[in-house]
Structure 1
Amino acid sequence: MNTLTNRTRPPPSGRLLSWLLLAAVASLVMALFAVAPPKRVDDVLYDVLIRADGRPADPSILLIDIDDRSLAQLGAWPWSRAVHADMIDQLDQAGAKAIVYDILFTQGSADPAQDQALGAAIARSGKVYLPQFLAEGEGDAPSRVIGPVPSVAAGAAGVGLAHVRFDDDGVVRRMAPFEAHGPALSPDLITVVHRATRPHDGPDPSRSAEQTLLVPFAGPPSIYRHVSFSSVLQGEVPPELIAGRTVFIGMTAPGLGPAFPTPVTPDAASMTGVQLQASILDGLRSGQMIKPVGPFGRVIFTLTLLWLLMAGLLVLPPRANLVLTIGLCLVGLAYSAAMFWLGRTWLSPIATVIGLKIVALVWGWTQLGRVNDLLSHELARIRTIARGRKPAAPVGFEGDVVARQASSLGEAITHIDDLRRFSADALFSLPDATLVANARGRVIAANAAAEALFKSLPPQGASLADLINTLEPLGHRFELDWPPNPKEGSTERHDPIDLHLADGRAYHLQTVFRRDAQGAPAGWIVRLADISILTAAMRQREQALQLLTHDMRSPQTSILALLATTPDAPPELAERISAYARRTLALADGFVQLARAEVTPVFLEPVDLADVAVEAIDEVWPQSAQRKIRIEQVGGDAPLMVLGDRSVLARTLVNLLGNAVKYGPEGSVITVALSERPSASGPTVEVSVADQGPGFSREEAATAFRPFQRFERPGSEAAGGAGLGLAFVHAAIARHGGEVSCRSEPGVGSEFTVSLPRHGVG
Structure 2
Amino acid sequence: MKPSEARPSRPGERRLSWLWLAVVASLMFALLAARPASRVDNLLYDVLARANTRPADDSILIIDIDDRSLARMGAWPWARETHARMVDQLTEAGARTIVYDVLFSQPSRDPAQDRALGDAIARSGRVYLPEFLAGGGENAPSRIVGSIPEIARGAAGEGLAHVRFDDDGVVRRMAPFEPNGPNLKPDLLTVVHRATRPPGSPDVTRGQDQTLLIAFAGPPSIYRHVSFASVLDGEVPRELIAGRTVFVGLTAPGLGPAFPTPVTPDAASMTGVQLQASILDALRHGRMIKPAGAWSRVAFSLTLLWLLMIGFLALPPRANLLLTIGLCAVGLAYSAALFWLGHIWLSPVATVVGLILVALLWGWGQLGRVNDLIGRELARVRSVVRGRGATATAFVGDVVTRQASSLGEAITRMDDLRRFSADALFSLPDATLVANEAGRVIAANAAAQTLLKPFQTPLNGSSLADLINLLDPLGRRFELDWPQATDRHDPIDLHLPDGRAFQLQTVLRRDEQGAPAGWIVRLADISILTAAMRQREQALQLLTHDMRSPQTSILALLATTPDLPQETSDRIAAYARRTLALADGFVQLARAEVTPVSLEPLDLADVAVEAIDEVWPQSVQRKIRIEQIGGETPMMVLGDRSVLARTLVNLLGNAVKYSPPGSAITVTLSEQSSPSGPVVCAAIADQGPGFSREEAATAFRPFQRFERPGHALTGNGVGLGLAFVQAAVARHGGEVSCRSEPGVGAEFTVRLPRHGVSKTT
Tell me, what secondary structure is at the counterpart of 2:319?
Answer: helix
Deviations 1:558-587 (A, max 9, x none): xxxxxxxxxxxxxxxxxxxxxxxxxxxxxx
In 1, the alpha carbon distance for the partners of 2:138 and 2:288 equals 36
Tell me, what secondary structure is at the counterpart of 2:321?
Answer: helix
Contact 1:382 1:391 in 2 (8 A): no
Question: Structure 1 residues 391, 19: CA separation in 2 closer, same or farther (over 3 Å shift)?
Answer: farther
Equivalent residue letter for 2:161: A
Equivalent residue letter for 1:198: R
Structure number with larger C-alpha Rg? 2
TM-score, normalised via structure 1 length: 0.51
Contact 1:203 1:286 in 2 (8 A): no
In 1, the alpha carbon distance for the partners of 2:11 and 2:184 equals 62
Question: Structure 1 residues 65, 383: CA separation in 2 closer, same or farther (over 3 Å shift)?
Answer: same
Q: Map of 1:221-236 to 2, 5 A cutoff?
A: 221-236=220-235
Question: Structure 1 residues 394, 327: CA separation in 2 closer, same or farther (over 3 Å shift)?
Answer: farther
Measured after TM superposition, the shift of residue 272 of structure 1 is 0.3
In 2, the alpha carbon distance for the partners of 1:172 and 1:345 equals 17
TM-score, normalised via structure 2 length: 0.51
In 2, the alpha carbon distance for the partners of 1:313 and 1:410 equals 26
**Residue equivalent to 2:547:** none
Contact 2:371 2:400 in 1 (8 A): no
Q: Percent identity?
A: 71
Comparing 7-16 with 207-216, which one deviates more in the overlay? Answer: 7-16
In 2, the alpha carbon distance for the partners of 1:408 and 1:191 equals 74
Measured after TM superposition, the shift of residue 143 of structure 1 is 1.2
Deviations 1:269-317 (A, max 9, x none): 5100000000000000001111111000011111111101000001110
Count of matched residue pairs: 408
Q: Map of 1:629-648 to 2, 5 A cutoff?
A: none
In 2, the alpha carbon distance for the partners of 1:129 and 1:258 equals 20
**Residue equivalent to 2:43:** 44
Contact 2:292 2:345 in 1 (8 A): yes
Q: Map of 1:701-740 to 2, 5 A cutoff?
A: none
Measured after TM superposition, the shift of residue 406 of structure 1 is 2.3
**Residue equivalent to 2:195:** 196
Equivalent residue letter for 1:342: L
Equivalent residue letter for 2:237: P
Deviations 1:230-289 (A, max 9, x none): 000000001010000000000111111111000101125510000000000000000111
Q: Does 1:281 align with 2:280?
A: yes
Tell me, what secondary structure is at the counterpart of 1:110?
Answer: coil
Runs of 4+ in 1 over 6 A off after TM superposition: 385-388, 401-404, 409-412
Tell me, what secondary structure is at the counterpart of 1:235?
Answer: coil
Q: Does 1:216 align with 2:215?
A: yes
Query: In structure 2, which of residues 404, 409, 420 is the aligned counterpart of residue 406 of structure 1?
Result: 404
**Residue equivalent to 2:293:** 294
Q: Map of 1:534-545 to 2, 5 A cutoff?
A: none
**Residue equivalent to 2:205:** 206
In 2, the alpha carbon distance for the partners of 1:209 and 1:106 equals 32
**Residue equivalent to 2:490:** none
In 1, the alpha carbon distance for the partners of 2:332 and 2:262 equals 19
Tell me, what secondary structure is at the counterpart of 2:155?
Answer: coil
In 2, the alpha carbon distance for the partners of 1:173 and 1:390 equals 73
Contact 2:95 2:242 in 1 (8 A): yes
Question: Structure 1 residues 391, 374: CA separation in 2 closer, same or farther (over 3 Å shift)?
Answer: farther
Contact 1:38 1:351 in 2 (8 A): no
Measured after TM superposition, the shift of residue 342 of structure 1 is 1.1
Contact 1:66 1:229 in 2 (8 A): yes
Measured after TM superposition, the shift of residue 137 of structure 1 is 2.5
In structure 2, list runs of 5 or more residues that go unmatched. Answer: 411-761
**Residue equivalent to 2:259:** 260
Contact 2:81 2:113 in 1 (8 A): yes
In 2, the alpha carbon distance for the partners of 1:406 and 1:387 equals 21
Measured after TM superposition, the shift of residue 393 of structure 1 is 4.2
**Residue equivalent to 1:249:** 248
In 2, the alpha carbon distance for the partners of 1:359 and 1:38 equals 21
Measured after TM superposition, the shift of residue 7 of structure 1 is 3.9
Q: Does 1:73 align with 2:69?
A: no
In 1, the alpha carbon distance for the partners of 2:391 and 2:11 equals 28
Tell me, what secondary structure is at the counterpart of 1:63?
Answer: strand
Contact 2:8 2:377 in 1 (8 A): no
**Residue equivalent to 1:99:** 98
**Residue equivalent to 1:123:** 122
Deviations 1:466-489 (A, max 9, x none): xxxxxxxxxxxxxxxxxxxxxxxx
Contact 2:6 2:379 in 1 (8 A): no
Measured after TM superposition, the shift of residue 201 of structure 1 is 2.5
**Residue equivalent to 1:460:** none
In 2, the alpha carbon distance for the partners of 1:148 and 1:21 equals 62
Contact 2:6 2:377 in 1 (8 A): no
Question: Structure 1 residues 410, 387: CA separation in 2 closer, same or farther (over 3 Å shift)?
Answer: farther
Q: Does 1:149 align with 2:118?
A: no
Contact 1:203 1:284 in 2 (8 A): no
In 2, the alpha carbon distance for the partners of 1:223 and 1:5 equals 78
**Residue equivalent to 1:140:** 139
Question: Structure 1 residues 183, 409: CA separation in 2 closer, same or farther (over 3 Å shift)?
Answer: same
Tell me, what secondary structure is at the counterpart of 1:254?
Answer: coil
Tell me, what secondary structure is at the counterpart of 1:342?
Answer: helix
Equivalent residue letter for 1:358: L
Aligned-residue RMSD, C-alpha: 2.6
In 2, the alpha carbon distance for the partners of 1:9 and 1:138 equals 66
**Residue equivalent to 1:240:** 239
In 2, the alpha carbon distance for the partners of 1:118 and 1:239 equals 21
Measured after TM superposition, the shift of residue 217 of structure 1 is 0.2
Q: Does 1:113 align with 2:112?
A: yes
Measured after TM superposition, the shift of residue 378 of structure 1 is 4.4
Measured after TM superposition, the shift of residue 26 of structure 1 is 0.3
In 2, the alpha carbon distance for the partners of 1:387 and 1:135 equals 91
Measured after TM superposition, the shift of residue 148 of structure 1 is 0.8
Equivalent residue letter for 1:80: A
In 2, the alpha carbon distance for the partners of 1:62 and 1:408 equals 78
Deviations 1:712-754 (A, max 9, x none): xxxxxxxxxxxxxxxxxxxxxxxxxxxxxxxxxxxxxxxxxxx
